[in-house]
A and B are shown apart, each in its own frame.
Chain A
Amino acid sequence: KAGVTQTPRYLIKTRGQQVTLSCSPISGHRSVSWYQQTPGQGLQFLFEYFSETQRNKGNFPGRFSGRQFSNSRSEMNVSTLELGDSALYLCASSWVAGAHTDTQYFGPGTRLTVL
C-alpha cells in the first residue's frame, strides 16, 4: 500500500505571495492532518480534515487554510506569505472507524522557503 504523498517536495516563494500544498493520504484513510515544523517552534498542529470538513484546528492565523476533496486528498493554502512561514509542512493521514481515529502516518513533507 502506498504511503502518504506530498507535492511539491520543495517550494521557494517570496513574501506576500500565496502557496498551495497538496497531500494524498494512504488509501482508505479519510482523516488528514497538517503540521508545521520549524527549528524554533518544533512541530505544531495546523488543522485536520475529515469527510471534507475541518474537524479540528490549531492556533494559526487565518492566512492558513485548507480543504479536503471527496477522494480524501487535501490541500493547504497559505496566503500573504511571511518570512516566518518558512518551514517543513507535514501531512498525516489516519484510518477512521466510527468515533475512533487511529494512528497518524506522515508523508515526507513539503519544504517551503519564503524569501
Chain B
Amino acid sequence: GNSVTQMEGPVTLSEEAFLTINCTYTATGYPSLFWYVQYPGEGLQLLLKATKADDKGSNKGFEATYRKETTSFHLEKGSVQVSDSAVYFCALSDLAGANSKLTFGKGITLSVRP
C-alpha cells in the first residue's frame, strides 16, 4: 500500500537557520503531495501542495518540489523563525483525482530558538 516516510525528529534550529525536512513516499500511480503543519492545540493547516512531477509548492517562505525520480517531497525554508515551531506532516493522496483520503507520515517536531 501507499506510505510516507519522514526523517526522525525532533529538530531544533536557531532562528534564521536553513531548514530541510525530508519526506519520501511509496505509491502507485501519481498521487498529489502535501505538507501540513500543526501548531500546539490546533488542527492541521495546509502549508503547500504539488499535484504532479516537478511541481513546486510554496507558501510563507517554505518550498517543496515533487520529485518522481527519487519519490521525494522535501520541505525547505531559507530562514526559519521562532513562529515556525510546530509539527510538520508530509502526506499523499491515496486516490487518483480524489484528495479525500490522505496517508500521512509520522510528523516531525520543529523547535526554533531565538
Interfacial residues, chain A to chain B (CB-CB below 8 A): 4, 6, 31, 33, 35, 42-43, 45, 48, 50, 55-56, 58, 90, 92, 94, 99-109
Contacts and interface: CB of A to CB of B under 8 A. Distances in A.
Contact of B97 (A43, A101, A108): A101
Interface of B: 34, 36, 42-46, 49, 89, 91, 94-95, 97-107
Listed from nearest, the 5 A-B pairs whose CB atoms lie closest are: A43-B104, A101-B98, A106-B44, A106-B43, A108-B43
10 contacts: A43-B91, A45-B102, A56-B100, A92-B44, A99-B97, A100-B97, A101-B95, A103-B49, A104-B46, A107-B43
B46 A90 contact: no
Nearest to B42: A108
A102 B28 CA distance: 19
A104 B98 contact: no
A105 B99 contact: no
A48 B100 contact: yes
Contacts of B98: 99-101
B21 to A, nearest CB: 16
Contacts of A103: 34, 46, 49, 99
A84 to B, nearest CB: 18
Contacts of A109: 42-43
B44 A90 contact: yes
A40 to B, nearest CB: 10
Contacts of A42: 104-107
Given A43-B89, A106-B36, A48 B101 contact: yes
Contacts of B95: 56, 101
Nearest to A56: B101
